[in-house]
Structure 1
Amino acid sequence: MTGAPAGLRRALAIFGAFAVVYFFSALLRAVTATLAPVFSAELGLAAGQLGLLAGAYFLGFALMQLPLGSALDRWGPRRVLLAFLAVAVLGCAAFAAAGTLPQLLLARLLIGVGVSACLMAPLTCFRHHFSAGAQLRANSWMLMTGSLGMLASTVPVQWLLPVLGWRGLFVAVAICLAVAMAGVALLVPRDAPAAQAAGGAGQAGGYRQVFSHPAFLRVAPLGFFAYGGLIALQSLWIGPWLTQVGGRTPAQAAQGLFLVNLAMLAAFFCWGLVMPRLIRAGWAGERLIARVWPVGVLLLGGIVWLGPQAGAVAWALWCVCTSVVSLSQPAVAQVFPAALAGRALSAFNLVIFSGVFVLQWGIGLGIDALRAAGWGVVPAYQAAFAGFAVACLLSFLWLHACRRRQADAPAWQAAR
């Protein structure tokens, strides 16, 4: 968008409308980590059931990504986001009224479906209206807003629980989402007919182009294991680690999660500040990921080794170092023409959130299986998290090997 004051005000209004919606989307994503002790005590959920309940959100999220991408390119971010948010409001109300695990799972699935456009819609809009540097900055600051939502899902939720209860909390979020929908309707512009016509062209072939592209294939394992794992742990398993491995109380775990999410908020704010300058200096997203990833893997290995001694500070450091993988998403979108932006973003998001679902549930199943085999709580958690660390290492080695084989490939030159 232009740098004129009117253009800047319009850009800020668009960003603000999207940011409010994404705030509540991230809160809904992460709140199960804070509510895990409540669900375990009130509903008697085992680790696998808890992972399934949290993962149902991401299953609904992942199932919608391919149709969502086509819809965004065909009908535009504003109209699609409003339709999906109506489903999210219904899902929150259903979750508040649910009395059994199947009902909770269905409601959580609806919530995931409803908020599945809360990041893809703004990123698609930014791809159409913002420059490359501004896209990366806006992407990082959207993720910062998400971190703020995840921050609100920790200690503030603990404060509200005695007043509202977990059911009242979901009713309140449903009301807030309905208000946020009004902001989107008022502030986000309708896409121009030309953009919609371009987006509607080549619907059938669009995803073939995306999934077969070397840039997409190169980062797909990274998106599934590293990016998906970051979200899986931040939105669920760090909380149980702090309580069951580290021996913290639920209140202390909520404080630890607050620290983790505060660190992530700061990290995304800093990425937003520095990325336009780094791009001008020749540091594209993939190049930064390749340089920073060893630190995150080593930190994760150290956390597994330390076990009960690894607290919130260690997890915050790991999350900050791993946050570099977030740069892969807007870089993928920039590889493709604007008419394919929604499908490119949603295809990569499908990979990410499929990873979140598999890892959230898989880690829980692994812990339950090891416990059933006679392992103690701490060794079971350590073994399950060690398996995740190995998967992350392999995904980064795949990226490194592909970079060596395709050093002169044009896929990421557009982002450099």
Structure 2
Amino acid sequence: MKTGIAILTLGYVLSQFYRAFLAVLAPDLTADLGIAAADLSRASGIWFLVFAAMQIPVGWALDRIGPRTTAAILLGVCGAGGAALFAVATARWQIEVAMGLIGAGCAPVLMASYYIFARVYPAAVFATLAGVLIGVGSLGNIAASVPLDWAAEALGWRGAMWALAAVTALTAVGTWLLVRDPEAAEGAVAGSLLDLLRIPAMWAILPMMLVNYAPAAGLRGLWAGPYISEIYDPALVGAVTLAMGLAMIAGNFAYGPMDRIFGTRKWVVFAGNLSGGICCAILWAVPMPGLWTAALLLAAIGAFGSSFPMLVAHGRAFFPPALVGRGVTLMNLFGIGGVGLMQFATGPIHAAAGGGLDGYRALFGVFALALLAGCAVYLLAPDKTD
């Protein structure tokens, strides 16, 4: 299992990279293909929405087919294929199709790991294992900052994407060779998605899941780059996105054991997301606070916005064993779907506010409201630990 988890972690490194790399390539894509940041927000949104939509069939496949076949085929065919299409793209629609394919390819990787954690390891350590996996996998977030900037300069953005297509294909082959499926659970085919939605706790947890990751992913994945470039200095985009990526890694490691330290999952998630909402509200109130303050606030949003594994652990505590695969993918659907919906919305919101500083202020305000609304609903959720 350890070797299989290692290769799935590499796959998740790629997943994190692909959701964040547009922020760094945005200037090159604008210069070569005439694609503006608002257009790229649509392409980024497509990645997240396709990723989210794939969670339904992925959840079924994890419970029925197993993580090995599910992850290897989708990552190899869709992930590597989408990266190759991106490398040869000459128009916006090709970028959008490529991002959709990559989203489908990345869709099963994290959930395959979570499925193995839930089926093989003690429930009490699920949040810690989930947080460590995301923390290590978030190295992809780091790679999609200064290292990608260097690679794009050395190879060109097309050369960098061809290299990524090759790495993705090799990772898919490794997944096929190294991952072992857990033994089938009794009654593993019983129940459906509707059974999960009949659990009352989910109606308070899923709205928080919908918004908790959207500000951090939206800013790190796209808007932090144009914001720093327009308002401060284009030369500092890589450094600021690197700092935000490092903060997100630290946040994932920090969240992991907190349920065992404090004896609660609900209040750890609530406090973190409320703090993230406050940081967004500060940037709404003062959208040009100075470079260092802006960078620190963006990093804080990234760190506080890393509650994803703790939220999955909170929801998983209510799932019957036969529905673990569909349960964790339902949570992921909301988490990633929320990012996709927000990315589709942020382009028009930025434009409607007039672009520039006013546009970014509007974005920070929307992110703040989303987190505060999610926290309000989440107050109704029952707490549960293992």
The yes-or-no answer on 1:201 pairing with 2:185 is no
> Would the aligned equivalents of 1:367 and 1:384 in 2 still touch at CA under 8 Å?
yes
The yes-or-no answer on 1:48 pairing with 2:38 is yes
> Would the aligned equivalents of 1:48 and 1:361 in 2 still touch at CA under 8 Å?
no
> Residue by residue, what CA displacement relative to the aligned partner does 1:348-392 show, whole Å, maximum 9, x if unpaired?
111112211111121111111222xxxx61012102321221122
SS at match of 1:307: coil
The yes-or-no answer on 1:332 pairing with 2:315 is yes
> Residue by residue, what CA displacement relative to the aligned partner does 1:93-150 show, whole Å, maximum 9, x if unpaired?
1111121111111111111011101111110111110112332122101111232100
Match of 2:224 among 235, 238, 259: 238
Which protein is bigger by CA-based radius of gyration?
1
Pick closer, same or farther for the CA change 1:233–1:215 going to 2, 3 Å. Answer: farther
Using the alignment, how far apart are the partners of 1:269 and 1:291 within structure 2? Answer: 16
Uncovered stretches (5+) of structure 1, i.e. residues with no partner = 1-9, 404-408
Pick closer, same or farther for the CA change 1:230–1:397 going to 2, 3 Å. Answer: same
Identity %: 30
Using the alignment, how far apart are the partners of 1:220 and 1:233 within structure 2? Answer: 22
> Residue by residue, what CA displacement relative to the aligned partner does 1:37-77 show, whole Å, maximum 9, x if unpaired?
22222222234312101112112101211111111111111
Matched AA of 1:385: F
Using the alignment, how far apart are the partners of 1:165 and 1:119 within structure 2? Answer: 30
TM-score normalized by the length of structure 1: 0.87
Using the alignment, how far apart are the partners of 1:190 and 1:358 within structure 2? Answer: 33
> Would the aligned equivalents of 1:57 and 1:112 in 2 still touch at CA under 8 Å?
yes
Using the alignment, how far apart are the partners of 1:294 and 1:353 within structure 2? Answer: 19
The yes-or-no answer on 1:247 pairing with 2:238 is no
Match of 2:199 among 213, 219, 225: 213
TM-score normalized by the length of structure 2: 0.93
Using the alignment, how far apart are the partners of 1:179 and 1:134 within structure 2? Answer: 30
Match of 2:161 among 167, 170, 190: 170
Pick closer, same or farther for the CA change 1:167–1:199 going to 2, 3 Å. Answer: farther
The yes-or-no answer on 1:140 pairing with 2:119 is no
Match in the other structure for 2:280: 300
Match in the other structure for 1:131: 122
> Would the aligned equivalents of 2:45 and 2:343 in 1 still touch at CA under 8 Å?
yes
Using the alignment, how far apart are the partners of 2:4 and 2:375 within structure 1? Answer: 35
Using the alignment, how far apart are the partners of 1:92 and 1:293 within structure 2? Answer: 33
> Would the aligned equivalents of 2:51 and 2:106 in 1 still touch at CA under 8 Å?
yes
> Would the aligned equivalents of 1:363 and 1:385 in 2 still touch at CA under 8 Å?
no
Matched AA of 1:290: F
> Residue by residue, what CA displacement relative to the aligned partner does 1:292-311 show, whole Å, maximum 9, x if unpaired?
33322211111222212242
Match in the other structure for 1:4: none
> How large is the Cα RMSD of the aligned pairs?
1.8
Match in the other structure for 2:145: 154
Using the alignment, how far apart are the partners of 2:345 and 2:127 within structure 1? Answer: 32
Query: Which segment drifts farther, 345-354 or 281-290?
Result: 281-290
Using the alignment, how far apart are the partners of 1:294 and 1:392 within structure 2? Answer: 7
> Would the aligned equivalents of 2:228 and 2:237 in 1 still touch at CA under 8 Å?
yes
Match in the other structure for 2:341: 358
Using the alignment, how far apart are the partners of 2:21 and 2:308 within structure 1? Answer: 23
> Would the aligned equivalents of 1:65 and 1:350 in 2 still touch at CA under 8 Å?
yes
Using the alignment, how far apart are the partners of 1:331 and 1:392 within structure 2? Answer: 18
The Cα shift of 1:287 comes to: 2.3
Uncovered stretches (5+) of structure 2, i.e. residues with no partner = none
Pick closer, same or farther for the CA change 1:19–1:351 going to 2, 3 Å. Answer: same
Pick closer, same or farther for the CA change 1:95–1:220 going to 2, 3 Å. Answer: same
> Would the aligned equivalents of 1:297 and 1:393 in 2 still touch at CA under 8 Å?
yes
Pick closer, same or farther for the CA change 1:213–1:45 going to 2, 3 Å. Answer: same
The Cα shift of 1:325 comes to: 4.6
The Cα shift of 1:191 comes to: 3.3
> Would the aligned equivalents of 2:243 and 2:299 in 1 still touch at CA under 8 Å?
yes
The Cα shift of 1:189 comes to: 1.1
Match in the other structure for 2:61: 71
